[in-house]
Amino acid sequence: MNLEERLRDAASAIEGMWADPEENRLQLARLHQRLDQPLPQSNEEATWLTVAEAAAVLKVRKMTVYRLVHSGHLPAVREGRSFHVLETDVHALTEEAKRVEAATAPKPAPMQNSRQAAGRDQRPSNEVTFLTVAEVAAVMDVAKMTVYRLVNSGHLPAIRVGHSFRIPEHAVHEYLHMLHSADVTGGERS
C-alpha cells in the first residue's frame, strides 16, 4: 500500500468517529449551559474601557489586548475604528488567570501558611495585585533573570499574559518570608 492510500484509509476511518448523535446532543447541552452562565452582565451602568485603559488594568501592552480581542478571549464592540471592552470582562479575564494560577501554583509549605491564607481569604479577591517581573525584581532587589528562574522553577507562582509573566504580590512576600524563616531555623540548627 502506498502512502496516499494509507492516508485516505485513515481519513475515512476517522469519518466514523464522533458519529454518535447522543454524544453530540450532550455536547450541545454542555455548550448551552456555558453560554447561559455569564449572562448577568447586562446591567445598564456597565463601564466601557478603551484598549489603552484595558491594557493599563491588565498591565500588558495594547497589542496584547488587541490579540485577546481578536482571538475572542475578550469580547469587544467596535466603534468606528476602535474597540471598547467591558470592564467586567477585563476583570473576568484576570479572575480566570487567577483561577489558573491557583490550580497550578505549587502547594505552599503547610506550616506557616494557614494564618496567612485565612487573612488572604477575608480580603476581596479583586484586591490581589499583580506585579511585573521588573517590579518583582525591584522588590526583591535581584536581577530580572533571577525572577524568571524562580518562576520557572516553581518557587514563585505566576500567570502568563501573552509572552510575559505576572506575579501576585502576596506570593513574593510569602517567598521572602519563607526564605527568612528558613534562614533563621537553619541558623539555629547549625
Which residue ranges make up the site for other proteins (CB under 8 A)?
3, 6-11, 13-15, 17-19, 21, 24-25, 27-28, 30-32, 34-36, 39, 71-72, 75, 100, 103-104, 160
Which CB sits closer to other proteins, 18 or 110? 18
Which CB sits closer to other proteins, 38 or 119? 38
Q: Min. distance of Cβ 141 from other proteins in angstroms? A: 29
Q: Min. distance of Cβ 27 from other proteins in angstroms? A: 6
Which CB sits closer to other proteins, 26 or 184? 26
Q: Min. distance of Cβ 187 from other proteins in angstroms? A: 35
Q: Say which residue the cell 510575559 belongs to.
A: 164
Give the residue among 131, 134, 142 at the shortest CA–CA distance from 171.
131
Q: Min. distance of Cβ 79 from other proteins in angstroms? A: 17
Task: Please count the other Cβ atoms lying within 10 Å of the Cβ belonging to residue 94.
Answer: 19
> Across 80-142, where does the E strand assignment appear?
82-86, 130-132
**What are the DSSP calls for 39-98, one per residue?**
-TT--TTPPEEEHHHHHHHHTS-HHHHHHHHHTTSS-EEEETTEEEEEHHHHHHHHHHHH
Which CB sits closer to other proteins, 153 or 190? 153
Which CB sits closer to other proteins, 4 or 44? 4
Q: From CA 9, how far away is CA 16, in angstroms rounded?
A: 11
Q: Min. distance of Cβ 11 from other proteins in angstroms? A: 4
Q: From CA 58, how far away is CA 69, in angstroms rounded?
A: 13
